[in-house]
Structure 1
Amino acid sequence: MAKVILHQGKQKRIANGHPWIYRSEVKEITGDFTPGDIVEVVDYRDKFIGKGYINPASQIMIRIMTRDPEEEINEEFFRRRIQAAWQYRQHVVRDSNACRVVFGEADFLPALIVDKFGDYLAVQTLALGIDVHKDTIVKVLQEIIQPKGIYERNDVSVRQLEGLPLTTGFIGEPFDPKVVIKENGIRFVVDLAGGQKTGYFLDQRENRLALQGLVKGGRVLDCFCHTGTFSMYAAKFGAREVLGLDIAAPALEVARVNARLNGYSDICTFKETNSFDELRAMEKAGEKFDVVILDPPAFTKSRQAVEGAIRGYKEINLRGMKLLPPGGFLITCSCSYHMKEDIFLEVVMDAGRDAGRQLRLVELRRQAKDHPMLLAMPENHYLKCVVLQVW
């Protein structure tokens, strides 16, 4: 096994539990290896830190798989890790037949994503070192979870940074990739082949419950609504009228199907439009809503783009607040790791000041429990959901 020696002063973050080792942190490598192989990582004093897979083509050169020098990375290793991940979901997932089964580094399986939708699984192997074990992973998943089918969603651009091709398709026997799941008593269509990410945003499951008690009898605006998940919850919790906005026509078609599926077609309507433009137009027209939901896609995927993202978040929050009467509720989200929680709250507060409104924090939420956050790895802490009362 090749040995990777870190530069002096670079070991603390990794020794504290962060699983990523960047190319710039590596002093030297002794021994032969092939990209994707497991290597041993030591600090500058030759003290063992862990074992992980290596890919010199990636900025993240090594991802730690184990901190036990005796543990081998083999089929039994993957069986233990996946079994532990699945048992954890039995503890924390309630009232849903869909969940994230494996959340990469937070489940000590770097760059592996496995989502369960009813009887089917969607799988992503996002780095070379995990991709080489794909057959073993699939075998273990079939053994532990016994799905009716598995769909590969390796169409994520991050794979190209690893020198991997983009690929999608059935692993094993084909099946209808449009699956109906049940979540908190609501049914949703999930397209494993064509939906965003692996087909559905599981990480907001518990945050959608925050609408209970806030929307009853009210008029609700759901911006960036995608397939209408927040809209369905608003209808379930007693909203008299829900308007969903999104720029993607295919997503809105699914939203309308979801409304019909749950008997909410008379409550929920959807409009294909740019949410930024529509918020401005509604403000000019003097529209008012009792609850406004803002759940946009990530405005920034890099540290360099944070400034532009701040402007975008401030704009939509300011416009959203202006559509609320005194005492109305704003549910505002950010799913970008680079938009830190404290910065996001500051942006929302600035928007409130510019809108001439006072903000009262009702609740500060994060991602669902099946997306656990490794405390040593801030990159896991990506979703913010802020519930505010606006005066």
Structure 2
Amino acid sequence: MAQLPESTKSTDENQAPEAALPVVVLKTKSDRRIKQGHCWVYSNEIDIERSQFKFFAAGQQATLVNPHGLVLGSGYFNPQALLCGRLYSRADQQPLDAAFIRRQVTTAYAWRQACYQQPYYRLVYGDGDNLPGLVIDRYGDVLVMQINTAGMMAVLEAIVSSLVDVLKPSGILLRNEKENTIEQLPAQTEVLYGEVPDFIDIIENGVAFHVPVMGGQKTGWFYDHRDSRALLAKYCQGKRVLDVYSYLGGWGLQAMASGAESVTCIDSSASALAQAEASATTAGCDTQMRFLKGAATDVLKSLIRKHLIFDVIVLDPPAFIKRRKDQRSGENAYHHINQLAIKLLAESGLLVSASCSLHLPRESLTKIVQSSAARVGRQAMIVHQGGLGADHPVNVAMPEMDYLKAVFARID
């Protein structure tokens, strides 16, 4: 740290000096990506001989420098992980402390308040809000968070206090669905502050949903497709709509509210379909909706055998490509599900083919739609491309953050 002038030093002899963060040194030529704005560090980029890195506990905060000593930023590190470092600041010796976290939460909150009229959105999106490894969704007065790294879990108390100070929620829930052995994080669902009910009512694009925050997928709801679901509305008037991998009926119920003639939802989860049907009953449109439980491919094949036809079909599957080694099998799965859907689609019908697979580029999904149409003797015309909304800010130097795609294609 820079030496303070004598005139500005504290005269309190009992004041404990601020502990300096250790330094992590990158190997030669490993700093280019970081200099351009990327915030992730990989273990093979670190000069082990010049760093204390291998002795770090998971989550250790440190300053990152290049081989010449140029400061690249402050972050936290885990020597057990391939993606071993995440920068949260470009400043030298910046601790991830309560003051820093409060500033980031305040900034994130102000941005969402400017973008949305109602309190339903992703409040914190990891690196996009300079809080890597942290995701927080806002459901009115309740906040539900996921913590994916040891570095962020180490400052959990500061996160909660900042949220309470800035937003004054009625409850805060930590919802880590699965154990993360590399980051030494157990599966955990715990109320950290106030009270959190099992279910919360939210509104998205004017439509109400009953969300299971305690037992649903991830934080309970997926705000990432909000903009694409709003766009779908203008295509649904008087149409027969099929919502595949529907979960709580996010696409289907909004299509119904936009004047669809009928909506069919397909999902493998009976509890998710039950919640979707409950939301439909509340909205008074349950008689125009069907809810089919089963594996998507099996149900689609059954509908094909029955010679059913739909005007609009939405495919919003889970990530088929979770790791690079899944690339070929995952792309085959996307091809298969798109071909089945196109067989059910009316002439000049609309296909919305979505993917949340980080490792599937947008252009690859577009090619999958094109080739799937060609294989069944049809032709695809792209009419729109959907993606993340304003509550998911993406660092332009980190294309990995822009994981979401939605291809809107007219199938002739």
Q: Contact (CA 8 Å) 1:41, 1:49: kept in 2 or not?
A: yes
Which residue of structure 2 lines up, in the alignment, with residue 74 of structure 1? 97
Q: Any residues of structure 2 matched to 1:336-351 within 5 Å, and which?
A: 336-351=357-372
Indicate the percent of aligned positions where both proteins have the same amino acid: 32
Q: Contact (CA 8 Å) 2:342, 2:373: kept in 1 or not?
A: yes
In structure 2, distance between residues paired with 1:318 and 1:175: 42
Q: What amino acid maps onto 2:125 in structure 1?
A: F
Match of 1:21 among 35, 41, 45: 41
Q: How far did 1:339 drift?
A: 0.8
Q: Contact (CA 8 Å) 1:104, 1:112: kept in 2 or not?
A: yes
Is the counterpart of residue 9 in structure 1 residue 29 in structure 2? yes
Is the counterpart of residue 212 in structure 1 residue 255 in structure 2? no
TM-score by length of 1: 0.96
Match of 2:326 among 291, 305, 325: 305
Deviations 1:308-365 (A, max 9, x none): 1111111111111111121111111001110111111111111011011111111001
Q: What amino acid maps onto 1:63 in structure 2?
A: R
Deviations 1:45-71 (A, max 9, x none): 111111111211222221111101264
Q: Which runs of 5 or more structure 2 residues have no equivalent in the other structure?
A: 1-20
Q: How far did 1:196 drift?
A: 0.5
**What secondary structure sits across from 1:179 in the alignment?**
strand
Q: How far did 1:33 drift?
A: 4.9
Which residue of structure 2 lines up, in the alignment, with residue 43 of structure 1? 66
Q: How far did 1:77 drift?
A: 0.6
Mark the CA change 1:317 to 1:48 in structure 2 (over 3 Å): closer, same or farther.
same
Is the counterpart of residue 84 in structure 1 residue 104 in structure 2? no
Match of 2:85 among 52, 62, 67: 62
Larger radius of gyration: 2
In structure 2, distance between residues paired with 1:14 and 1:108: 14
Deviations 1:233-257 (A, max 9, x none): 1111101111101111111111111
Is the counterpart of residue 169 in structure 1 residue 190 in structure 2? yes
Which residue of structure 2 lines up, in the alignment, with residue 226 of structure 1? 247
Which residue of structure 2 lines up, in the alignment, with residue 129 of structure 1? 151
Q: How far did 1:386 drift?
A: 0.9
Is the counterpart of residue 202 in structure 1 residue 196 in structure 2? no
Q: Contact (CA 8 Å) 1:222, 1:292: kept in 2 or not?
A: yes
TM-score by length of 2: 0.91
Q: Any residues of structure 2 matched to 1:271-290 within 5 Å, and which?
A: 271-290=292-311
Is the counterpart of residue 361 in structure 1 residue 382 in structure 2? yes
In structure 2, distance between residues paired with 1:166 and 1:277: 31
Q: What amino acid maps onto 2:307 in structure 1?
A: G
**What secondary structure sits across from 1:63 in the alignment?**
strand
In structure 1, distance between residues paired with 2:90 and 2:335: 42
In structure 1, distance between residues paired with 2:62 and 2:392: 28
In structure 2, distance between residues paired with 1:323 and 1:286: 8
In structure 1, distance between residues paired with 2:168 and 2:178: 26
Q: How far did 1:269 drift?
A: 1.5
Which residue of structure 1 lines up, in the alignment, with residue 4 of structure 2? none
Q: How far did 1:229 drift?
A: 1.0
Is the counterpart of residue 325 in structure 1 residue 355 in structure 2? no
In structure 2, distance between residues paired with 1:229 and 1:134: 31
Which residue of structure 2 lines up, in the alignment, with residue 117 of structure 1? 139
In structure 1, distance between residues paired with 2:58 and 2:188: 20
Q: Which runs of 5 or more structure 1 residues have no equivalent in the other structure?
A: none
**What secondary structure sits across from 1:208 in the alignment?**
helix
Which residue of structure 1 lines up, in the alignment, with residue 8 of structure 2? none
Q: What amino acid maps onto 1:127 in structure 2?
A: T
**What secondary structure sits across from 2:80 in the alignment?**
coil
In structure 1, distance between residues paired with 2:236 and 2:176: 38
Q: How far did 1:91 drift?
A: 2.3
Q: Contact (CA 8 Å) 2:143, 2:169: kept in 1 or not?
A: yes
Which residue of structure 1 lines up, in the alignment, with residue 10 of structure 2? none
Q: How far did 1:172 drift?
A: 2.7
Q: Contact (CA 8 Å) 1:234, 1:242: kept in 2 or not?
A: yes
Q: How far did 1:73 drift?
A: 2.9
Q: Contact (CA 8 Å) 2:349, 2:410: kept in 1 or not?
A: yes
Alignment RMSD, CA only? Answer: 1.4
Deviates more, 1:134-143 or 1:370-379: 370-379
